[in-house]
């Protein structure tokens, strides 16, 4: 981001309470979180990789296999022997369940591990919410392409075929008719992202929801749910659901939408979420909001950063406070519009360079980020997902101007690449 300087409110940094941060993520999309939260807490990083760039924001770091819950617990206890640990904080999808268990073991704030598990398992989410009377799309768990075909015939085309336990739209495919089912099932069943778990019955076939898609980031304190960011999602590359951008407006009327807010509260209550941060995705259908999925973590794709730019209030700090059992002040400082666009290649290629054309920037362009190095190979779904070469962020008083300045983002960040055979 543009300014990653750390300014702690504590005159003596040793006075700041300690948060255990489990996993640090991909630097271009996550450094802003460490920069912000480290102004309020001393962070002690527990990560599978040797800490490098993270050390600027951390009081210390322990290298530990984060897939080994017992090893992470031992490392956490060792930190607690000398420092006052007040919470366990993660935004890593692979760590949310184990961190909930760790917080419970250490007597620290957090939602019950069972609630977090019900978020990670999309089939459990559907079953729990349906039992609580929350409106849900039709959803069937299947184990084979034949079962998927039968489920699709009962639900009616088009349908969504998706992996039960993935994230970031990996393994999510739209099937328009029976001829699409076998390939959609194979893509969903074969999806692999960040070593997330597979299930014996690994695929869901769901009713296709029409309408625009949004996400709602929220914090929970003692069971009270407060939205922090509402983002309007942009998708591309049908029949896949590659996220190409998000638009956030602090004046969004959805912040006052009674049905959306009621469903948000009902969802969190039914799942048993009591402390922490969530990222829920909805379709705004003709019948009202319908949940796509709920994740027990901060949103990715720089969505919380857009929320900060739009309101002046940092959702990442609010999430850290929730992890420590503290209530955040979420009163907006200002009300602006902010958006991001992600840049994808036209096809399979090898990166030569990415060129920034600052002379083409409109008045609201705030910053750019390059996420492909020379020599990197890029491709498109279904061969590869999440192979972006950069992004552009804009912020201004008017959403129309922000969107206009991001209308052709590839002109602002130009990919020069060598085409490769498919």
Residue 2 lies inside a defined structural domain of this protein? no
| pLDDT bucket at 166, cuts 50 / 70 / 90 | low
Instruction: Say whether both 193 and 55 belong to one domain.
Output: no
Picking from 190, 207, 224, the residue at the C-terminal end of a domain is 207
Residue span of the structural domain in which 24 resides: 13-108
Instruction: Say whether both 146 and 122 belong to one domain.
Output: no
Does pLDDT of 331 surpass 50?
A: yes
Spatial distance between the Cα atoms of 90 and 167, rounded to a whole number of angstroms: 15
Q: According to the model, what pLDDT value does residue 168 have?
A: 61
Percent above pLDDT 70 for the chain: 94
Q: Which residues pair with 140 in a beta bridge?
A: 205
C-beta atoms surrounding 244 within 10 Å: 18
Instruction: Say whether both 128 and 234 belong to one domain.
Output: yes
Residue among 162, 151, 202, 192 nearest 292 (CA): 162
- pLDDT digit string (tens) for 18-30? 999 999 999 999 9
- pLDDT digit string (tens) for 395-418? 999 999 999 999 999 999 999 999
Does pLDDT of 110 surpass 70?
A: yes
Instruction: Say whether both 147 and 171 belong to one domain.
Output: yes
Instruction: Say whether both 371 and 324 belong to one domain.
Output: no
Does pLDDT of 135 surpass 90?
A: yes
| pLDDT bucket at 11, cuts 50 / 70 / 90 | very low
The single-letter DSSP state of residue 240 is B
Instruction: Say whether both 309 and 384 belong to one domain.
Output: no
DSSP string, 249-287: ETT-GGGG-HHHHHHHHHHHHHHT--SEEEEEEEEEETT
- pLDDT digit string (tens) for 173-206? 899 999 999 999 998 888 776 677 777 888 999 9
Spatial distance between the Cα atoms of 279 and 166, rounded to a whole number of angstroms: 14
Picking from 207, 223, 257, the residue at the C-terminal end of a domain is 207
Instruction: Say whether both 326 and 365 belong to one domain.
Output: no
User: What does residue 289 show for φ and ψ, rounded to 5 degrees?
Assistant: -65, 140
Residue 58 lies inside a defined structural domain of this protein? yes
DSSP string, 174-213: EE-SHHHHHHHHHHHHT---TTPPP-SS-EEEEEPPPS-E
| pLDDT bucket at 308, cuts 50 / 70 / 90 | very high
Percent above pLDDT 90 for the chain: 85
Which range has the worst mean pLDDT, 39-48, 56-65, 200-209, 324-333? 200-209
Residue 3 lies inside a defined structural domain of this protein? no
Does pLDDT of 8 surpass 70?
A: no
Residue among 329, 400, 413, 416 nearest 28 (CA): 413
Instruction: Say whether both 198 and 218 belong to one domain.
Output: no
Instruction: Say whether both 99 and 125 belong to one domain.
Output: no
Q: Provide the number of structural domains found in the chain.
A: 4
Does pLDDT of 3 surpass 70?
A: no
Average pLDDT over residues 199-220: 92
| Residue 82 · residue 122 · CB < 8 Å | no
Q: Where is pLDDT greater, at 10 or 241?
A: 241
What CATH number does the domain containing 59 carry?
A: 3.40.50.20
- pLDDT digit string (tens) for 56-89? 999 999 999 999 999 999 999 999 999 999 999 9
Instruction: Say whether both 277 and 393 belong to one domain.
Output: no
Instruction: Say whether both 156 and 194 belong to one domain.
Output: yes
Residue 8 lies inside a defined structural domain of this protein? no
Q: According to the model, what pLDDT value does residue 242 have?
A: 85
Instruction: Say whether both 298 and 243 belong to one domain.
Output: yes
C-beta atoms surrounding 7 within 10 Å: 8
Picking from 207, 227, 243, the residue at the C-terminal end of a domain is 207
């Amino acid at each position: 981001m543009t300014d990653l300087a750390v300014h702690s409110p504590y005159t003596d940094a040793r006075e700041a309470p300690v948060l255990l941060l489990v996993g640090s993520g991909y630097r271009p999309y996550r450094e802003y979180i460490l920069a912000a939260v480290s102004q309020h807490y001393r962070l002690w990083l527990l990560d599978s990789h040797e800490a490098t760039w993270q050390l600027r924001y951390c009081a210390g770091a322990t290298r530990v296999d984060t897939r080994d819950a017992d090893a992470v617990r031992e490392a956490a206890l060792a930190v607690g022997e000398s420092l006052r640990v007040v919470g366990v904080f993660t935004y890593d999808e692979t760590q949310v369940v184990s961190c909930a268990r760790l917080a419970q073991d250490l007597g620290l704030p957090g939602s019950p591990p069972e609630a977090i598990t019900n978020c990670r398992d999309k089939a459990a989410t559907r079953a729990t919410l349906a039992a609580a009377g929350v409106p849900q799309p039709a959803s069937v768990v299947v184990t084979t392409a034949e079962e998927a075909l039968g489920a699709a015939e009962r639900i009616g085309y088009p349908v969504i075929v998706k992996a039960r336990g993935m994230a970031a739209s990996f393994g999510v495919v739209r099937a328009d008719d029976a001829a699409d089912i076998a390939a959609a099932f194979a893509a969903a069943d074969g999806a692999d992202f960040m070593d997330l778990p597979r299930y014996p019955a690994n695929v869901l076939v769901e009713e296709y929801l029409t309408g625009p898609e949004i996400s709602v980031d929220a914090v929970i304190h003692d069971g009270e749910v407060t939205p922090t960011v509402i983002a309007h999602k942009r998708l591309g590359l049908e029949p896949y659901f590659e996220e190409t951008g998000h638009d956030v407006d602090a004046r969004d009327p959805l912040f006052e939408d009674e049905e959306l807010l009621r469903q948000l509260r009902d969802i969190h209550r039914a799942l048993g979420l009591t402390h922490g941060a969530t990222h829920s995705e909805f379709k705004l259908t003709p019948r009202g909001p319908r949940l796509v999925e709920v994740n027990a973590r901060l949103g990715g794709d720089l969505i919380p950063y857009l929320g900060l730019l739009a309101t002046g209030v940092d959702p990442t700090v609010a999430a850290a406070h929730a992890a420590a059992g503290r209530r955040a002040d979420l009163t907006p400082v200002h009300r602006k519009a902010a958006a991001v666009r992600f840049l994808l290649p036209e096809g399979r290629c090898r990166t030569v360079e990415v060129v920034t054309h600052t002379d083409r920037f409109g008045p609201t362009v705030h910053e750019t980020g390059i996420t492909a190095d020379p020599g990197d190979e890029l491709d498109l779904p279904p061969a590869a997902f999440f192979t972006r070469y950069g992004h552009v962020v804009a912020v201004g008083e008017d959403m129309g101007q922000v969107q206009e300045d991001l209308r052709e983002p590839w002109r602002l960040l130009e990919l020069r690449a060598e085409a490769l055979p498919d």
